[in-house]
Structures are given as C-alpha cells and as structure tokens.
Amino acid sequence: MIWVDLANATINGIVIGLLLALPALAVTLVFGIARFPNAATGDFMTFGAYTVVAAKSLLALPLAIGVAMACALTALLSLFFYWWVFRALVRRSPVASLIVSIGIALVVRSTITFFAGQSQYTIEVPLVRAWNFDGVRIVPTDLYIAGVAVTALVLTFCLLHLTPLGRRMRAVADNMELARASGINVGRVMITLFAIVGFYCGLGGVLIGIKAVVLPELGWELLLLLFAAVILGGIGSPLGAIIGMLVFSVSQEIASLWVGASYKIVFAFFLLLGVLLLRPQGILGKVRAVR
C-alpha cells in the first residue's frame, strides 16, 4: 500500500505547491524587479482570504465574485503600499524595504484581527465526493484549485515572455539603469508589478483558504516557506519559484508519511540545504558574467 500513500501525498503536495506557487511567484517577481524580499506577501494573502469570507458572509455574494473582489482589492492594497511607502525607498538599501515590508505585514494583520478577531473562518465550497482509483484519491475541488493556479501561472509567463510589458519588466529586473536609459518608464513597470503581485497574493490566499482555515496568521506562517521555495528555485527566476514550491511542497507531504506532520517542514528544509550545497544559485538560478 505504500505506493498508494505515496501517490496521495504527491497529489496533495502538487495541489498545495501549485496554489502556493502564486505567492511564491509574487515574492520572486518583487525580488527580481524591485530588488527586495517582500515580507508583506503572506499578509496580503491573508487579506485576500478574509475578503472572500467577508464577501460571502456579510454581502452574501457568490464565491466567484468574492474571488474577483479578493484579487482586485488585494491588488489595490499592494498598489497603495507601493505608492505610499516602497516608491520612496527605490534608491535605498533592500534592507530598508524589507524592514518596512515587515511593518506593513504587521499593520495588515493587526487591522484584520481588529475587525475579524482571532476566530477561524472557512471558505465553503460545495462538497463533492473524491474520485477513488484503487485507493488513490483525487478531490475534484483540488483539480479546480490546481486548474485556477496553473491558468494564472501560464498567463504570467505569457505576460512576461510574449508581451512588450513583460519585456519591459524583465529589462528592469535585469538592469534598471540601462532600462531607464532605453526610455522605459520604471515607475509604470513598478505599478504593474505591484498590481500583479497583489492579484496573485489575493488569489493564492483564497485558494489556500479553501484548502485550510482562514485565520489572521494564515499568510505570515507561510512566509518562511515561500522565501525558502524561492531560494530553492533560484532567486528572481519565476519558473524556479514554481518548481521550488512544488519540490518543497511534495517533499513535505511525502515526509509526513514517516516523520509526522510536525516535522515534515524540517525534512523540506534539509532538502533545501542539500540542493544549495550542490547548487548554491538554486535549481534554475543563473550566475552570469556580465560586463
């Protein structure tokens, strides 16, 4: 039966990995383009999850509209903090932006707690029976979640590699000074970046809220995992962030078969250390000699 357990753990790991790939992508995009690790990413996810809870419970809106609201409002929240705070720190040390982002995370979480309290909420979706293939269980809801995440990720890659806006974003990530000297409006690129980041944090928060329960620490507790996945995949590499998150998530779920849920994250971090020993730049990170 071990292969059945392995298969179930792998499927679960892939689903969680795919939905967490959205905020991991947000982390790596901000790191690659705005050049700082955004510690507010997790709490933006929490904001997205609570927006759906509020939309369903207070406004009795359908889930789909709640999800759209969550993505839009989290994008606005992300833009607000870019415009108010991060914009002024563009030429400062990344450490300054990191510290400020931790402050923003605390502000967002405290505000959520002030209005919603410490109670746990759930984002209810219609109950459906899992498909059972000789013990290998696939829940249709998980497939929808994975489908939404994959669609969002594919759209991001199309944006980055097939559109002029994506080229501009990659150019700014590569060399901000040269980008400006090439006529690229870096401010507009940053606005687009923080809108996309907010959108994905909101969507990721809703999806993880559907899989788990919604509470004020939902995103903050995932932050270390997101940063670790980004490092594992190669800092600044969007595809690396997704692969890193999938590897991290699947390895955790498989580890839980032997070491239990409490220690599964330790196994994943050992894996991270092992990969970095062999490949310090991460799975898809590149070391380029540029003159």
Partner 1 sequence: MSLLMLEDVAAGYGDTDVVTGVNLQVGDREIVAVAGTNGAGKSTVVKAVMGLTPRLSGSVVFDGHELTRIPIEKRVSLGLSYVPQVQNTFAALTVLENLQVVERVANRSQRIKDMFDLFPALADRRRTAAGDLSGGERQQLAFARALMSSPRLSVLDEPSAALSPALTAQVFEQVRRCPEAGAAVLIVEQRARQAIEFSNRGYVMDSGRIVLTDTSANLLSNDRMAQLYLGQH
Binding site for partner 1 (CB under 8 A): 164, 167-168, 170-171, 173-175, 177-186, 286, 288-291
What 3 state SS string does the chain have? CHHHHHHHHHHHHHHHHHHHHHHHHHHHHHHHHHCCCCCCHHHHHHHHHHHHHHHHHCCCCCHHHHHHHHHHHHHHHHHHHHHHCHHHHCCCCHHHHHHHHHHHHHHHHHHHHHHHCCCCECCCCCCCCCEEECCEEECHHHHHHHHHHHHHHHHHHHHHHHCHHHHHHHHHHHCHHHHHHCCCCHHHHHHHHHHHHHHHHHHHHHHHHHHCCECCCCCHHHHHHHHHHHHHHCCCCHHHHHHHHHHHHHHHHHHHHHHCCCCHHHHHHHHHHHHHHHCCCCCCCCCCCCC
CB of 170 to partner 1, least distance (A): 6
CB of 279 to partner 1, least distance (A): 18
Closer CB to partner 1, 137 or 180, in the complex: 180
Closer CB to partner 1, 279 or 286, in the complex: 286
Closer CB to partner 1, 60 or 181, in the complex: 181
CB of 163 to partner 1, least distance (A): 11
Closer CB to partner 1, 173 or 243, in the complex: 173
CB of 109 to partner 1, least distance (A): 35
Closer CB to partner 1, 164 or 260, in the complex: 164
CB of 241 to partner 1, least distance (A): 15
CB of 275 to partner 1, least distance (A): 22
Closer CB to partner 1, 181 or 278, in the complex: 181
